[in-house]
Structure 1
Amino acid sequence: MPETQIRFGILGCANIARKVSRAMLLSPNTTISAIGSRSLEKAIAFASENHFPESAKVYGSYDAVLDDLDVDAVYVPLPTSLHVRWAVLAAEKKKHVLLEKPVALNVGELDTILAACESSGVQFMDATMWMHHPRTVKMKEVLSDEQRFGQLKSVHSTYSFLGDEDFLKNDIRVNPNLDSLGALGDSGWYCIRAILWANNYELPNTVTAFHDPGYNESGVILSCGASLNWKTNGKVATFYCSFLSNLCMDITVLGTKGNFRVHDFIIPFSEQVGSFYAVDNSKWIELALGCAPEPSEFKIATDLPQEALMVQEFGRLVAGVRSGEVKPENKWSIVSRKTQLIIDAVVASIKNGFVPIKVIY
């Protein structure tokens, strides 16, 4: 029996929506029912260019999408400053919410969104795609193997890319009125999520921003980093995010007995295969001329790209809620909120002279 297809509405024609709309069409349990933009002409062009189904409705407003009874769920790729308004309205209209990251400008805004979703009984999920790749499951298996990996001691994550002149002047991610968190909200979100994921979402006790973050002339962060510290086991993590450095998407995770590295954790170099390297019980060889064993490469194949797997999982959760069989899965609300808390702590540390900020859920 074919899966129930969850009908998506899309709010806006952001570039990332091209990728996610493709995922909706690749996923076996989702389809696109409608798209809305402030410009009807722009919405028509977007639907045509991205091969939407002929049945998809095209609107010249976001409200029209939310009022469409043929829309079960909405994907919100709007600028972060608009998230609280439109995600709350979507929830109030009983639409399930797939929200682009960063999900909010601060945890207070996110709490407003999550409260609306809970009140309406709709599913919430943030659009952090890499978490849905089967490689992520395999990396967690390696990390959880106490015999070979031991106890987690440190995590370092980096996400950077070099924005060109047009990006640094005109992209919404450098506009203080649209995405005031800049590189911290965009690139840093991924790094922070990776750190929390490796730590089974145990929040650190303190977060301390690195000195000398980079800013544009409008005061938006273009590069920054921070350290995270746990009292238990002396664990530590660091991250660096930037719009000013060459493309890098690394996670390095170190345990007492082993470690692993992934070089493309955000967007795999190949849609079909995700790779990472792991090793345990490393020792110097004679005269310290090298070490053994050498890291092993794991290659994890997938039939669907990670964004389609994300949409498929969201569709599965929505279908369960709509059938009345289950309540919305709250894992994603908790994970999003913890990620946002760390972003808020980095901002607070910067504003207060790079002092450690206590993190309280």
Structure 2
Amino acid sequence: MAPVNWGILGAAKFAREHMGPAIHAASGARLAALATGSDDKFAAFSKRFPDLRRHTNYDALLADPGIDAVYIPLPNAMHVEWGLKALDAGKHVLIEKPVAMKAGEIDALIAARDASGLMATEAYMIVHHPQWRRTRMLLADGAIGALRQVHCAFSFDNRDPENIRNRPEVGGGALPDIGVYALGSARFATGLELSDLRAEIEWEGGVDTTASVQGRLGEAGYSGYVSTRMHLYQEVRFHGEGGVIRLTAPFNPNVYDAARIELHRAGEVSIERFPAANHYVNQVEAFSAHLRDGADYPWSLEDAQGTQATIDAVYASGAQT
């Protein structure tokens, strides 16, 4: 069967360093085109992907009959607009997280997806990593007994005022950028929704830079923080009555650190490692498999909307400091 031909809207650094190579490496996929008005940015891509076709604007790429699916790594505030345009143009679409700035904005994408019969979802790559599928299985199987506490931490230090994460007009902020991981991963692993949320949020230049969150996750307590003004760090712990599951590189495996699950029980620690897994490649292959034969895909727009609704609730409960 012919591969899925992908186009990328915008020459984002993340697309050049991660998703472009993932599409190129994935079975059942082909990186075919890039839309950018910048000669220099296209040159940086074409050095890695010599056969890449260029369009100088986004609409031209969407009109390209040789493109089956579009990856959208544009600034957060542009995701819904261009996701809808891609669906209207008859393209399947993978939209970088967060899909939207408010949960209600995702309704339009869900409606367009359903009306078109096309595939549309969020690029929430961690659910394609085997460490998260394994964690979900361990929790479901009762490996640590009744779950009592969940803790998620994700931080890095980015004070560049020109970086999109620090620009409110394009949807910057710590919660949109990495809160989707600290909150969404807990939802995915447990299958539960967060409630009774209480937050303290620090703001700088119109964007949230640190958010500390507490709440409930079913019968368990939840605590976590995200920050773009703290030392680089990430960790997730699930603490039950009979043990602890600890993920040491939950969100950027093989970049932050090696992916590892530690299972602590009765004075013993067992460790599982995943040195070869690339969740970006897995994500593209899962997308292609879904288009090819209807294979299950682990993350929907409705899943993304649930996480965004949680982020909306965190903002609503947060005391600005």
TM-score by length of 2: 0.93
> How many residues of Structure 1 are paired with residues of Structure 2 in the alignment?
319
Residue 149 (structure 2) aligns with: 154
**Residue 188, structure 1, aligned to residue 175, structure 2:** no
- State the 4+ residue runs in structure 1 displaced beyond 3 angstroms: 269-273, 326-331
Aligned to 1:227, which of 214, 229, 235? 214
Structure with higher strand content: 2
Residues 331 and 308 of structure 1: CA distance in aligned 2, closer, same or farther (over 3 Å):
closer
CA contact (8 A) 2:175 2:208 kept: yes
Residue 170 (structure 2) aligns with: 178
**Amino acid in structure 2 at the alignment position of 1:242:** S
Aligned-pair identity in percent equals 28
Q: Which runs of 5+ in 2 are unaligned?
A: none
Aligned to 2:274, the other structure's residue is in SS state strand
**Residue 108, structure 1, aligned to residue 93, structure 2:** no
Give the drift of 1:40: 4.6
Residue 15 (structure 1) aligns with: 13
Superposed counterparts of 1:240-319, under 5 Å: 240-269=225-254, 274-280=259-265, 282=266, 292-293=267-268, 295-302=269-276, 304-319=277-292
Residue 287 (structure 1) aligns with: none
Give the drift of 1:327: 9.6
Q: Measure the CA separation in 2 of the matches of 1:328 and 1:68.
A: 28
Give the drift of 1:144: 2.1
**Amino acid in structure 1 at the alignment position of 2:137:** E
Q: Measure the CA separation in 2 of the matches of 1:156 and 1:348.
A: 21
Aligned to 1:82, the other structure's residue is in SS state helix
| Residue-by-residue CA offset, 1:148-190 (whole Å, 9 max, x unaligned) | 3112222110110011x4x2x110111111014x001101111
Residue 48 (structure 1) aligns with: 46
Larger Rg: 1
Aligned to 2:223, the other structure's residue is in SS state strand
Residue 96 (structure 1) aligns with: 92
Residue 286 (structure 1) aligns with: none
Residues 348 and 16 of structure 1: CA distance in aligned 2, closer, same or farther (over 3 Å):
same
CA contact (8 A) 1:160 1:248 kept: yes
Aligned to 1:68, which of 49, 57, 64? 64
Residues 133 and 124 of structure 1: CA distance in aligned 2, closer, same or farther (over 3 Å):
same
**Amino acid in structure 1 at the alignment position of 2:202:** G
Q: Measure the CA separation in 1 of the matches of 2:116 and 2:295.
A: 11
Residue 27 (structure 1) aligns with: 26
Residues 87 and 316 of structure 1: CA distance in aligned 2, closer, same or farther (over 3 Å):
same
Residues 247 and 79 of structure 1: CA distance in aligned 2, closer, same or farther (over 3 Å):
same
Alpha-carbon RMSD? 2.1
